[in-house]
Amino acid sequence: MTSKQVAEMMQSSPADCHKALVREYGRYVYAIIYNKLRGCGTNEDIEECVSDVFADLFMKCQYDISSENDIKYLIATIAKRKAIDSFRSLCARANHMTDTDEDNMRELVSDFSVDEHVDRSELRRVLLDKIDELGEPDSTIIIQKFYYNRSSNEIAKCVSMTSNAVRVRCSRAMDKLRAKLVEIGMTI
């Protein structure tokens, strides 16, 4: 969904736009916020922060309708910043920083990134969908070769073909897969 599409939806029906955004990105935003606030905030604090993210998103899309880019990265940026601001205000409200709070603050810049994990999961899902579209036996050959790291001889036994036929089918299937991925803007 682009910010221009969101702005158009907001003009036609703001309530439907809000529902669509929350339905599509609600879990994603919640995962980012929960990852940042799980050690210091309550469920209400997390839910309030999620609401603030969507409020900021609606304001941003209302004034910047020129962008044709996917808003997922905008949402992730807003969520991370809101979570960090919430974390700081929750710690200030407690009026002291303990060692545990400092450790939690270090977690905010940890190597694990929820949004990158979600992006990789989404990429895997799209890739598996495109492999399934290849049909049998091509999808089985690709899965066995690249996911299970099986040799052509092992795959040949599974699909009742010769190993040479498996290699040829694999090569052709990879060409088809590349073409399918290019159609949706992805490259291997």
Output Rg (C-alpha) for the chain, integer angstroms: 23
Are 1 and 75 a contacting pair, CB within 8 Å?
no
Q: How much is the pLDDT for 104?
A: 58
Cα 129 to Cα 52, 59, 188: the distances in Å are: 34, 35, 15
Q: What tens digit of pLDDT does each residue of 70-110 get?
A: 677 778 888 888 888 888 888 777 655 554 555 555 555 55
CA–CA separation, 65 vs 50, rounded Å?
22
CA–CA separation, 80 vs 107, rounded Å?
12
CA–CA separation, 70 vs 99, rounded Å?
39
Residue type, 116: E
Structure tokens, 21: 């955004």
CA–CA separation, 166 vs 161, rounded Å?
7
pLDDT at 10 over 80: no
CA–CA separation, 141 vs 150, rounded Å?
9
Q: How much is the pLDDT for 61?
A: 62
Task: Identify which of 132, 137, 127 has the alpha carbon closest to the alpha carbon of residue 168.
Answer: 137
Q: What tens digit of pLDDT does each residue of 15-51 get?
A: 787 788 888 888 888 888 888 887 777 888 888 888 8
Q: What tens digit of pLDDT does each residue of 104-131 get?
A: 555 555 555 555 656 667 777 778 888 8
Q: What tens digit of pLDDT does each residue of 152-183 get?
A: 888 888 888 898 998 998 889 888 888 887 88
CA–CA separation, 104 vs 154, rounded Å?
49
Residue with tokens 């810049």: 109
